[in-house]
Structure 1
Amino acid sequence: MTKKFGQEAPHRLRVMQVNVRQMKASAGSNLTTNLLKSKDTQLEMLLLKKANDFYNQVPYFTDLEHWGVDDYWATPVELVASFGGDCEDYAIAKYMTLKDLGIPIERLRITYVRAIKIGETHMILAYYPTPDADPWILDNLIPEIKRGSERTDLIPVYSFNDDDLWLANGTARRGGASTVRLWRNVIEKMEKESKL
C-alpha cells in the first residue's frame, strides 16, 4: 500500500480498522440479533451515522483527477489508502462496512440516481429498515442522513446489493447485480486485497 498510495496509506488504513472495530463494539457482540430485536432505529442510525461520517471525511475527486480514467469504482481500501474518491466509492465503502458489521444485505442498496441540484448522475447508499420502508439515504453530498422522501433532489434509476438489482419501478432481478461490470470488478479487487 505504501508503494502504491504513499507513506500515509498504512496509517489511514489503521484508522479505518480502528473505526470499524469501534463501530462493532458500539453495536454489541451480536449485531444482527440486536438489530432484529430492536424496536426503534437508534442502533441502526448510530451505525449508519458512524459509517457515513467516517467515509465522508475522505476528499472528493473525480475519477479522471484521481485515477486517470473516466469511471473507476474503488474498493474501501483504495478509497481510504489513496485518500480520495467519488460518489460510488463512498457508497461502496459504506455498504461494505455496514455489511461487515452484520447488517443484512437485504436492507442495503447501492443506488444510482440522477442528482438534480448538481445536474449529474450520482450514487448513494440506501438503507431499508423493512422492505417497504422509506429508506435512509447515506450520501457524500450532504452530511445528514435523511429519508428518501426528503431527498427530492435525487431521482432513482436502479439499485443493487450482492444479490439483486432493482429498477426504479421496483422490478427486481435476482442475481442481477452480477450484470453490473464495475461491481464485479470491485468484488474481484477485494478478493485479491484479502489475500495480501
Structure 2
Amino acid sequence: MVEQGRRLYGNKGQAAVQDWFKALESAQGLAQIAQLSVVNRFWNRSVRQAEDRDVWNQTDFWATPLDSLGKGLGDCEDFVIGKYFSLISLGVSPEKLRFIYVRAQVQNAAIAHMVLGYYENPTAEPLVLDSLIDTIKPAGERGDLTPVFSFNVQGIYVPGAKPASVNQIGRWRTLMQRMQNQGFTP
C-alpha cells in the first residue's frame, strides 16, 4: 500500500501512508480504549477538513483511507472511514463499530455530520470519535449531536425500525470495491 500511495499521490502520499502504518504499529498491543485515542488523534491531525466538491469535484464522495491520506483532505465521512479501517486493522471487531449519521450543532446551525461510534458491547452507550473534536466522549456527553441512523457491516440501524442490509448503501459498496482495487482488503 505504501507503493500505491507513492504511485497515486507521489512522495507526499507515500509518506502519509508510512506515517499511518507507524501510528498503527504504535497502537498494537494497547488496550482498545488506548487504540481509539491513537487512531482518533492520528486522523484528526493528518487530514484537514474539506468539502467533497472542493477535493473530488463531487457532491458526496467516500474516499478510501489511501485517498484521504494522499490528498491530506477529507470530509466527515472520510475521517470516519479512515478511523474505522484503522481500528479494524488493529483487531477491533467490526460489530463494535458503527458509522453514525448525526445532526451536529455547529456555530448555531444544525449540519449533517458523521461520527464513528465504538460500542464495548451491543447495549453499551457508544464512545464517539469525531473529526470536530479530539476528545473521545460517551454519546450521552455529546449534547451537540443528534443521531439519525447508524450502520456497520451487519446492517443499517434506524430507531424504531428493523435493521436493514448495509448493501442498500451504494457508496459503501463502491468504497469497498475501490479499497480492494487499491490493495486494501477490509
Same fold, TM exceeding 0.5? yes
Partner of 1:46: 34
Pairs within 5 Å for 1:83-94? 83-94=72-83
Q: Which has the higher contact order (CA 8 A, sep 6+)?
A: 2
Supply the AA of the counterpart residue of 1:19.
Answer: A
Secondary structure of the 2:48 match is: coil
Which of 143, 153, 164 in structure 1 is aligned with 2:134? 143
Partner of 2:157: 166
Q: Is contact 1:87-1:140 (8 Å) kept?
A: yes
2-structure distance, mates of 1:152, 1:126:
15
2-structure distance, mates of 1:44, 1:168:
27
- Runs of 4+ in structure 1 off by over 6 angstroms are none
2-structure distance, mates of 1:125, 1:2:
28
Pairs within 5 Å for 1:53-64? 53-57=41-45, 58-64=47-53
In structure 2, runs of 5+ residues without a counterpart are none
CA positional deviation for 1:4: 3.6
Per-residue Cα deviation, 1:73-108 (whole angstroms, up to 9, x for no partner):
001111111111010000111111111111111110
Partner of 1:133: 124
Supply the AA of the counterpart residue of 2:139.
Answer: G
Partner of 1:177: 166
Secondary structure of the 1:48 match is: helix
2-structure distance, mates of 1:90, 1:169:
28
Q: Is contact 1:52-1:138 (8 Å) kept?
A: yes
User: How many residue pairs get matched?
Assistant: 177
Supply the AA of the counterpart residue of 1:77.
Answer: L
Q: With structure 1 as the length reference, what TM-score do the two structures score? A: 0.85
Partner of 1:67: 56
In structure 1, runs of 5+ residues without a counterpart are 28-42
2-structure distance, mates of 1:16, 1:92:
14
Is 1:192 aligned with 2:181?
yes
